[in-house]
Structure 1
């Protein structure tokens, strides 16, 4: 049973999401405005809010916000204790918006995974996963990625000595698999074209043993500043940053051994972690983003050296943003050939990473190599 104070706080944040404001931003702003809230209280409020959106379609919208949050938490606790307590047809009808069935196959296990709380994944520095797991405890390795650990504990990882020493990054398993798919070599020159705050760039740098050079670009200067701070903590130095708005005017004339386009997308693959987005994302968004994704690939294609690798990734599973984009690029560029994702243990050139198979975000990855 949630404390009344937690219900009241969650209700106030819900009011902010109606403006509309994404739930994670609304939470961040609320916590800044209420600095007296401790870590335990913040975790309880965050959990209540995300649980609300996870079970949104089951709630009585005539009830008060506090009562609806209470209903959602009760449903979630019942589901956690016994997933069969919610019928599969109810999950299919209520867990996601109706338009999604037009864009992707929806296996029953996908819905079950969406309704669970997301796993927390860490990426240890290369070769140190065992040592880090012994230090932090409550860590479970996975055969899918050598440096990945599923953290099951309760401590605030941002306060640990290991985090401040740069011993690990908090990075979802699917994102780590994108870095492994790129498979850069030490001494090469790479471009992380939509680098954001640098999660995948830092992984590329580690795989390159901090040698060679990575160009990290993004339309947001603020994100690039955060990337620099993260790189300093991780003691990563083989990179340079530049703003790029995704247009045909490129930030550099450099020719690269590899380019990673981790493109902006609808984020369907993150709906377990970000359930509010299920109810704010539309089919129109999907179609509009696909235009952007195709343009990004077109703009960077000429910057690859012969035999260079192009990696396209999106944290979504919609056909319009995944196979349709990849097929269109292949058809338009005979100078590229689909390349096997052998570092992920497959001879296929594109791959869906499903949340219910990874217990992580959903992703799509495709790879090409420029012909000699």
Structure 2
């Protein structure tokens, strides 16, 4: 049994409260702030805090069943206790949880069964219904995978190094890693480490990017000297990959509706030595219109439900609902319709999401192609979480006339 000290417990409590009950507070940023504010915690303590924090978020619905009530601001410690008992993790003496009846939780734990699949997989009822409707009998296999902890995957920045050399560089800094077969630039850590403190990171030798996400850059089939538009660039993970694939030759125009994301992209590009990227803030439709029929390649990494990346963002299943998914599907179709106009005749584009729902993926492409006969599907690919990495969809579409 592991021993959880009181100061760690308080940190977990406060971070969970912030994630669940403060608007626009996301788990990854909350835990990052917690760990930064406790610099004296050792690496083992930091790992334990992070693991318990994410597992409680991941299994919240199931833990609520064991608690016998829903999570409220006043009962976060009871939620933590339910997790500690379930995972057989020891916190000094359980009697220190004043006013919490341990016996009630233990009774449900000893039963070993839960009444519904939604509780078993720790998701809202509406999500269980949606997954079953869209994925059929496979939905449970995918939820099994999505409830696992995500591995840490790096993308070797081939503008500065190779995956083989990156593994060697990291080993010198006591970070053990290995290359992944069929993923040319990917390197996986053997265990979680704060790689942002390494000199390899500071020198721009890698970015943290899931293996499935790395497939998108390859799928777009960019060539040196092309003009490429990344229409929903965000902080630029895929943009930087495209720059490396193009060997800094040609032009990449990175667009986004958030200026702060583009500012982060610029910082990352400087560290990576990616010099062929120009950022443009989408402040109005004119930004898109100026690029009509100018792109050899176009990447539309569309906003989506994010259901393919619940391994690393488990809190998102508690922050979205069916109305959100219905709204986002409307946005996806509008973005496809408007942004596709930037593609030249003979050019190719990718429509991609990190969702596993067909209604956000191939169904959206089918509607777009029906309404736009000048485009045709070249190929598409879905990567499911049960294959080992994040869930993604990508469709390569050519403009023929």
Q: TM-score range by the shorter chain?
A: 0.7 to 0.9
Following superposition of structure 1 onto structure 2, how do residues 264-275 of structure 1 map, counting pairs within 5 Å?
Answer: 264-275=303-314
Say what the alpha-carbon RMSD is for the aligned residues: 2.6
Is the Cα–Cα contact under 8 Å of residues 91 and 111 in structure 1 kept in the other structure? no
Aligned residue for 2:96?
none
Is the Cα–Cα contact under 8 Å of residues 244 and 251 in structure 1 kept in the other structure? no
> Which residue of 84, 101, 112 corresponds with 2:144?
112
Unaligned stretches of 5+ in structure 2? Answer: 90-110
- Please state how far the C-alpha of 1:189 moved relative to its aligned partner: 0.5
Tell me how far apart the structure 1 counterparts of residues 227 and 306 of structure 2 sit (CA, whole Å).
Answer: 29
Is the Cα–Cα contact under 8 Å of residues 186 and 211 in structure 1 kept in the other structure? yes
Unaligned stretches of 5+ in structure 1? Answer: 79-84, 340-348
Aligned residue for 2:21?
18
Aligned residue for 1:5?
7
Is the Cα–Cα contact under 8 Å of residues 118 and 272 in structure 1 kept in the other structure? yes
- Please state how far the C-alpha of 1:67 moved relative to its aligned partner: 3.8
**Residues 1:124 and 2:156 aligned together:** yes
Is the Cα–Cα contact under 8 Å of residues 114 and 120 in structure 2 kept in the other structure? no
Following superposition of structure 1 onto structure 2, how do residues 198-347 of structure 1 map, counting pairs within 5 Å?
Answer: 198-244=236-282, 247=285, 250=288, 252-253=290-291, 255-339=294-378
- Please state how far the C-alpha of 1:141 moved relative to its aligned partner: 2.0
**TM-score computed with the length of structure 1 as normaliser:** 0.87
Aligned residue for 2:126?
99
- Please state how far the C-alpha of 1:365 moved relative to its aligned partner: 0.8
Is the Cα–Cα contact under 8 Å of residues 162 and 185 in structure 2 kept in the other structure? yes
Secondary structure of the corresponding residue to residue 187 of structure 2: strand
Secondary structure of the corresponding residue to residue 311 of structure 1: strand
Please, which moves more after superposition, 103-112 or 48-57? 103-112
Following superposition of structure 1 onto structure 2, how do residues 158-197 of structure 1 map, counting pairs within 5 Å?
Answer: 158-197=196-235
> Which residue of 357, 376, 386 corresponds with 1:356?
386
Aligned residue for 2:80?
69
Q: Is the alpha carbon distance of 1:10 and 1:300 closer, same or farther for their aligned partners in structure 2, counting shifts above 3 Å?
A: same
**Residues 1:365 and 2:394 aligned together:** yes
Tell me how far apart the structure 2 counterparts of residues 117 and 243 of structure 1 sit (CA, whole Å).
Answer: 35
- Please state how far the C-alpha of 1:239 moved relative to its aligned partner: 1.2
Aligned residue for 1:345?
none
Aligned length: 355
**Residues 1:54 and 2:28 aligned together:** no
- Please state how far the C-alpha of 1:37 moved relative to its aligned partner: 5.3
Is the Cα–Cα contact under 8 Å of residues 179 and 186 in structure 2 kept in the other structure? yes
Per-residue deviation, residues 268-301 of structure 1 (Å, max 9, x unmatched): 1111111111122111111100111111111112
**Residues 1:144 and 2:171 aligned together:** no
Secondary structure of the corresponding residue to residue 250 of structure 1: helix
